Each structure stands twice: as structure tokens, then as C-alpha cells.
Chain A
Amino acid sequence: MTASSSVRTLLRSDTGGALFLALLAGVAIVVPLLNLVVPPSSPLHVSTFVLTLIGKYMCYAMLALAVDLIWGYCGILSLGHAAFFSLGGYAMGMYLMRQIGPRGVYGNPILPDFMVFLNWTELPWFWLGFNHFWFATVMMVLVPATMAVAFGWLAFRSRVTGVYLSIMTQALTYALMLAFFRNDMGFGGNNGFTDFKDILGFDLQQDATRVVLVVATAVALATSFLASRLIVASRAGRVIRAIRDAESRTRFLGYRVESYKLWVFVFSAVIAGIAGALYVPQVGIINPSEFAPINSIEVVIWVAVGGRGTLYGAAAGAALVSYAKTFFTGALPEMWLYALGAIFVFVTLFLPRGLIGLLPTSIRAR
């Protein structure tokens, strides 16, 4: 059985998902061409700014996908998923900082500028190895995963559920935000990391590098979507949905609810971490405000607006709400919060399935 045929099997029951992947592939092919090949004078030209914006939305879509996987399918409402996103982002940021090398303001070949500024003389142990891309890549996955295992293992084993769990996840990201704001943590304090120069030897300011990053993000988004789809369509996926609908009953039927919850939570955290790692080189900065609890709530809002329990709905919601935010904050900054607030109230009251709920049933996933 080839990979393409297994994907086809997977999407047979998910027309919306198939459309989503097709759209994603289209964007990943057309947008780079419009950026690189079409001359800037042409009206069809896509500027690098728009290109980066699309890459940013795709990262958000991955994060929304991660939240939908645990909220829409497993009933775990995480109000702290931006923490995993930021941890992945910080891992990437550390690699990018080490790549600056002697080109920093202080010209120190080893120490990033903020450490020189703090009068540190040597690199802290947890920064060792981040000059290698492979090591940073492992950490992008490992750090969010470890955090998720530690938190999830404690929480699910003691059967912390519902609102309590949501508030604990919020406390987690809040505590991390406060911690990363501290200068002596060794992560740049409230300025975080910025002024990145290059990634794997390619200049980050080059259009070609940007295009590669966007395509890589599209591939990562598609892969995470398919992997999540694989999970929810599997036998384990059915158990996960059973936990969402009747946790005690599932437990009494003999399933180890804690293990299912833990692994789906960790998987979701890993997706969020990778999304964060792809986000940082594109926006060029990571700082502790990414951990702010309000960011995590916004992610939940994306999922709710798009429509939870469909995966592609969450991704679409992330892109739509983020685009609306970009548009409104530019065009009508006064009106943005009114509009956003009204959207949340309206969607929660009248569209419990989100915007996807407006689509005909033939497209929606089961």
C-alpha cells in the first residue's frame, strides 16, 4: 500500500479535510511562484510581506489544529497551549541566536548580546548544543513534549478535569511567562530574542529563504493535519471521543483514560511546539509575551469560530480570525475589539459548530 492510497482512505470520509489539503497545496505552490517569478510591477505579484503573513497564519493554523485535537476530540480545554508554542519558538530562537555569532552588537563569537550586556562570561549549560540545527530541532519537539508529559501525567492521573484543568493550564502558561520575563533565566528577559541573521547558512532577509520557510510550514501543517486525522480515525481515536462524551463510562469499560488523554495531549503539544519553531524565523522575534494567557484564549477562540471537532475547521478559523485582526487593526483600530468581541458572542450563541457548521453536511467530517 502506497502512502497516497492510505491518505485517500483516510480522507474518504472527510471531504472538508480533502478540500483543505488541496487548498493548502495550491497556496504552497502558487504563492511562492507569484512571489519569486512574477515581477513586482505585475498586479499578480505577492509581496514578501504578504508571503510572510501567510506563513504566520499557517503557524497559527497548526496551533489551532493542536488545540482542536484535544478540545474538539478529547474534551480537554487547554487555556495554555501558547506555552508549548512559545517553548518550541524559544528552542528555535536559541539556535538562531547562536547563528548570529560575532555579528552581534558586542561582537562576542559565543555569547548572545543580552548575555554580554548582563556581564556573563560563559554560556549557561542549557545553551550548549544549540549551535547545531539537529540539536535545536530535537529540542523543539522534546521540550514541549516533556512539559506536556510532566503536566499531563500529574493532572490526568489525579483526574483533574473540566474547568479545573483549564485553569491549571492557564496557571502553567502564566507561570512560564513570569519565569521568562526574568533576566537571570538566561532567555533574554522581556526583550526575548531578535535580530536573527540566518538559518542553516541562508540569509533570513532573502525572499528565497522566506519562500522555503513558508513551504516548509505548509508541509508541516499538512503533515500534522494528516497525522491528527490518522489518530482520530483510528481505534484509539474512537476511544478518545468516547472519553470526551462520557469519561467515567469509558473508564468503567476498561480503557486507561489517563494514558489516552496523556498521549493525545503530548502529541498536541508537539504540534504546537513545531508551529512555534516555524513561527519564530518568519516573524523574527520571540519574547515572553507570547506566553501571555490571553494568547492561549485567542487560540481557543479560533477553534470555536472555525468549528471544533473537524481539524480543518480550526485551521480555517485561525487563518480567518487572524486575517480579520490584521485587517481591522490596520483599517479601523478602534473598532477591532468591538468586532472581535461581537464575533465571539455571536459564534458562541448562534453557531455552536462554528463557521463550518454553515457548510452543507456532505462536506463536514463525521
Chain B
Amino acid sequence: MLAVGVVPTALLAQAGDQEFLAALAALSEASFLDKEAIVERLVATGHASTRPTLTAFLEDRLFVRQQDQQVFVVKSTDDTLEAFELVDPLSLEDAGSAPPTDLTKIGTNNRLRRFLRVTVARFALSNPSPVVRLDAVKEMMRTLDEGTISLLQQRVGVETDPGVKGEIETGLALGALDGGDPTSRVAAIAMLAHRLRPEVRNRLAAMLERSADGRFVESDEEVRRAAADAVRRIDRSRIFYSGIETLFFGLSLGSVLVLAATGLAITFGVMGVINMAHGELMMLGAYTTYVVQLAMPNHIGASILAAIPAAFVVAGLAGVVLERTIIRFLYSRPLETLLATFGVSLVLQQLVRSIFSANNRAVETPAWMSGTLQLNEALSITLNRLYIVFFTLIVFAILLMVLKRTRLGLNIRAVSQNRAMAQAMGIRSEWVDAMTFGLGSGIAGVAGVALSQLTNVGPNLGQAYIIDSFMVVVFGGVGNLWGTLIGGMSLGIVNKLLEPYAGAVLGKILVLVVLILFIQRRPRGLFPQAGRAAESQ
């Protein structure tokens, strides 16, 4: 190896090229057995083009041009193509094209293909990237035989990446099930019991089956018992992880509900205003996201972050205007705010229809929000749902901070508890009303940003959520933010738990019925307000 370093590189490359070409040229005429030897010769050259060439060979894309007996790799062997595009195997550069009739395929048989597969996999197994190595192992596990197993055995000692090593061990254990003494098979089963891949479970379950004449496929009782235990164990873990997945889906649905209901918990819960335009304020937030994306088309990733404050301001201002022009005249008639704000919601819907048309608008999901987080074979989590759960918690925490730790929050709580006394203490209750309503509306706008990532942005976006939002607030207990959080999350989880048994629609109906019955038992929700504030409502 040291001696190689002394030879000038250009010369070395040339020598390698020649050897490679020579081996390749021999391939077209050779018998299947000879081809194996030639493949080994090719590998021995260590030429950089060996792997792509062998991969092409394996995929039946290695051809000989009849006129000059030169070997070419073909990009695609699609029947519909009039001419195959050729690639020079040595330089891997395009080499024109030729009609299929001018080319002869270099054939393979089963044995040769198996040999090639192992050879190609060996290349992949020594690839520096663990991702490529992992894929190679997974590919090999699909077609386990002596060749691949011995390759894995060679590799298991060298492998450093724990993920790849684990997969290799799984593969070896699967291989060990087939032969050998019962002890080693039991040991392999014990190892496989901790693996969640469906292939492993299927393979173990197959060992428990009876053949047509009523005898067990697996003759050794000890092994059978171990396999049965392992299948049970795998099933248990899969059920556990699917439970976690359901829980997560529930949490993410619950987060959407909480997000939609938090603003309402302020306007409806704290102020007692039935704001039927709440959904339309969310819709304004979603459209703000759309407009912000239009304004910065080259920074989709950042546009979502910029849309959050923008949506808060737009919806919040709309809320303040709504409060100052309409709602403040109706504080003595709370049920009638429903009518007036319903009118406002119709106007807002028509407004976006006039400006943006009645069609849904596409809001792009930034790259950093798409994709999934694969925790193990049985559990994967979509990133955008995960972000929405966190986002909800952050919004909720900020809102709590505002209410408990700021001057504005103090004023809001004072006015909602005892308006006359708050006024006597010098609080401008009218101004506080406007700010409170603006805060609740602003949060609706922020919820709209999140919704724009989950559903279509259209004029009817708000209507879909208004009933659910009211349900969450009433279920949690009016005037109690924690109730809204817990109420929304538990409704989301119950919904998702029911879904597998009852289906999505029936599940939702059941939740509504349970909710109606629940309110009969506890008319003031999960966490009723205590004290004087409760009496006045």
C-alpha cells in the first residue's frame, strides 16, 4: 500500500482504467460462472466506477453496443423510449444514445444477481455515511441468505454507528433462526423480542404456525415457546407505541382546540361577550399569514414567524374596532352580542371573499416545519403537529404571564371581578374593555396562523371552529384559563381515542353527546368559578 503512494497518480489512474476496461470487455462474452470471476476482478481494481457499473449490471442496465462491442450503462430501459441514453461506464459521462435494437443486454441469472447484490451491498456497507449503511442493511434483510449473512458477520465487528449495528444484529439474529442448534435459535429469538420491525414479528409468528398435516413448522418446543413469548412482547410494545401515537394525535388536535378557544376564553370567559365573529378573527389571522408570505416569497421559512406578530396586530386591531363601535353598547344585554357579532362575522366573510375571492388560498408550509420525527420503527411524529403543540403551550404561557404579571392583566382581572370597584380605584374600565377584547382577538389571529398550516385558508375557515371553541370554553369552565387548556386537551384526546372504534364522525358525535350530558351534571364546567364573580354571570 505504501508503495502505491510512490507511483504517480495519473499513471495509476490510467493503469486502473485499463484493468477496469479489460475486465468489462470480457464480460459480454463470458458464461455466468466466468462473469462472477470478472465481477470479482472489477471489484479488485478498486476503480471508482465499479459500484455504479455493478448496480447497473444488477438492474439489467448494462448493454453491449453491437457495432463496436463496447460496454455501456443505460440510464433507463423503459420500453416506451425510442433510444436508450448511454453512459460511459469508465468516466460516467453521457455518451450519446442508441436505439434498443443496436444494443445487447449483458444477461444475469439468479445466482449471479445474488452475488451482485451482495457485492453492491458490500460497497454500501463500507460507505462513510451511516444513512447509506443503514439503508444497505435494511435492503439486505429483505433477502437474507448465506452471502448476505456472512457479509453482515464481517461487518458487525467493524461497525461503529449504534443504529446500524443494531440493524445488523437484527439481521444476523433473523438469519440465525433458520439453522443451528436450538440454543442459538432461542438466543436469537430473545434478541429479536426487542425489535419492533414488522418483518421480525411476521418471521417469528410464522414459526408458530402449523403446516397442513397439523404438525408445527418449528419442531423444537423450547424454540416455539420462546418465539410465542417474543411475539407477545412485540405486540405489547407495538400496542404501547400506538397508544402513545394516539395520545400525541389527541394532544395535537387538543392544541388546535385550545389555541382556537384561548382567545374566546378571554372575550367570552372573562368579559362575557358571546363573540360569534371569533372564528372570523382567526380567519383574518390565516389570511394575514397568506399576505405575509406573498410579501416575502423568498423567505417562506421566516414568513411564518413574521406572520405571528402581524396576525396578532391585525386581528387585535379588528377586535378593538369591533369593541369600540358595537360591543360596548351591548354589555347589559350579553345574549344580544351574539346577534350583532354574527352580523359582523357575515360582513368579514364577505369582505375576504371580495378581496381574496371565494376560493381557498394556499399557504406554504416552510421546510423546517414539514417532515416527520422517526422515534423508532413503531412510532413517528409529524413535525408540524409537534410544533403546534409547543406553539399552543407557549401562547398559553405568555397569556398567563400577561394576565398575572402585568399591569394590563391586573386591570383586566380587576374589571372582570368588580367593575364598579375597579372604576373607583381609578382604572379606566372602558379602556381596559377595549384592550381585553383586543387581546382575545389578537390571540384568535395567532391561532389563525397555526390553522393556516393545518387546513385550507378560505372564507369559511372560522365557521368550522366556532362551535368547537365554545364547547371547549364551556366544558373547561367559563372564566378559567386552565380549564380551557385542560378541557381542550382532554376533548382532543378523547376524540382521538374514540376514532379507531367509532370512526371520525361518530366519535365526534359521541363527544358532543357526552359533553351535553356532562354539562347537565356540572352546569358550570370542569372548573367552575367560585365566589362573587360566579354569581354575577
Contacts and interface: CB of A to CB of B under 8 A. Distances in A.
Contacts of B519: 155, 158, 160, 164, 168
Contacts of B268: 163
A167 interface: yes
Interface in A41-92: 77
A53 B293 CA distance: 47
Interface stretch (B60-68, B236-244, B330-338): B330-338
A352 interface: yes
Q: What are the nearest 3 A-B pairs in CB distance? A: A344-B343, A341-B347, A337-B350
B474 A167 contact: yes
A179 B502 CA distance: 12
Contacts, number: 122
Contacts of B501: none
Contact of A348 (B340, B516, B524): B340
A344 B339 contact: yes
B339 A300 contact: yes
A166 interface: yes
B512 A304 contact: no
B523 interface: yes
A164 B474 contact: yes
Contacts of A161: 523
A171 B343 CA distance: 21
A85 B335 CA distance: 23
A172 B516 contact: yes
A301 B339 contact: yes
Contacts of B276: 297
A258 to B, nearest CB: 12
Contacts of A154: 516-517, 520
Contacts of A349: 326, 329-330, 340
Given A337-B346, A340-B343, A171 B471 contact: yes
B354 interface: yes
Interface residues of B, number: 46
B342 interface: yes
5 contacts: A158-B521, A167-B470, A341-B345, A344-B342, A352-B333
Interface on chain A toward B: helix, strand, loop, or mixed SS? Answer: helix
Nearest to A156: B520
B408 interface: no
Given A154-B517, A171-B512, A334-B354, A345 B344 contact: yes
A279 interface: no
Given A154-B517, A338-B347, A352-B333, A294 B463 contact: yes
A162 B523 CA distance: 11
A345 B334 contact: no
Nearest to A298: B342
A238 interface: no
A342 B343 contact: yes
B523 A164 contact: yes
B82 to A, nearest CB: 48
A341 B349 CA distance: 10
B131 interface: no
Contacts of A157: 520
A130 interface: no
A167 B473 CA distance: 10
Interface string A168-179: 101110110011
Contacts of B353: 337
